């Protein structure tokens, strides 16, 4: 499981010119799964995302989590995070988990996040337009 975490002041995702998810002040996540990912990976990642201290405290030190600041999450599925471009110029996506299994894990991941925080999403397998204002910029890659 691989996630690109971006601290944002705003983010939204559109499908067919309709907004399907939008947040202010929080985290935008690009989420991908690979073979052998399971619920243990999801649980670990949910805990990591929710408690990652990348928001400023009163002294301007990144010492607060998205929960601490009352933020939200925009979660976007993105199988291309497992692209392998080491050979040739056309990436291979064989390391990305197949669609049906990935969708099931993605939905579980979002459900577990939503038990603790407001979560907005894109649409799995849809052609999405994502826009965001990265705050910092702060971008972190998590992998389990």
Q: Quote the pLDDT of residue 119.
A: 98
As beta bridge partners, residue 132 has 11
Question: Would you place residue 120 in the very low, low, confident or very high pLDDT band (cuts 50, 70, 90)?
Answer: very high
Q: Where are the domains of the chain?
A: 2-143
pLDDT value at position 134?
A: 98
User: Closest by alpha carbon to 21, among 122, 133, 126?
Assistant: 122
Residue 118 neighbours by CB under 8 Å, 6+ apart: 23, 72, 73
For 139, the token pair is 């971008």
Q: Among all residues, which ones are annotated catalytic? A: 78-80
**What are the tokens at 37?**
């990912």
Summarised one tens digit per residue, pLDDT across range 98-110 is: 999 999 999 999 9
Give the span between the Cα atoms of 113 and 122, in whole angstroms.
15
- Residue 56 is predicted with a pLDDT of 97
Quick one: pLDDT at residue 85?
96
Query: The tokens of 8 are what?
Result: 């944002």
**What integer is the mean pLDDT of 43-53?**
98
Structure confidence at residue 138 (pLDDT) = 98
Q: Report pLDDT for 96.
A: 96
Q: How far apart are CA 40 and CA 37, in angstroms?
A: 8
Second CATH level (architecture) for the domain 2-143: 3-Layer(bba) Sandwich (3.50)
Q: Supply the pLDDT for residue 51.
A: 98
């Amino acid at each position: 499981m691989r996630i690109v975490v971006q601290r944002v002041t705003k983010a939204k995702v559109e499908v067919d010119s309709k907004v399907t998810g939008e947040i202010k002040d929080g985290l935008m996540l690009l989420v991908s799964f690979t073979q052998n990912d399971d619920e243990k990976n999801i649980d670990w990642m949910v805990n990591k995302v929710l408690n990652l201290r990348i928001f400023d405290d009163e002294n301007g030190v990144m010492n607060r989590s998205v929960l601490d600041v009352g933020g939200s999450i925009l979660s976007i599925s993105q199988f291309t995070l497992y692209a392998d471009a080491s050979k040739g110029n056309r990436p291979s996506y064989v390391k990305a988990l197949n669609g049906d299994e990935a969708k099931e894990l993605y939905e579980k991941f979002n459900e577990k996040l939503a038990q603790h925080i407001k979560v907005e999403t894109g649409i799995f397998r849809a052609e999405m337009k994502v826009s965001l204002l990265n705050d910092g910029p702060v971008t972190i890659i998590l992998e389990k």
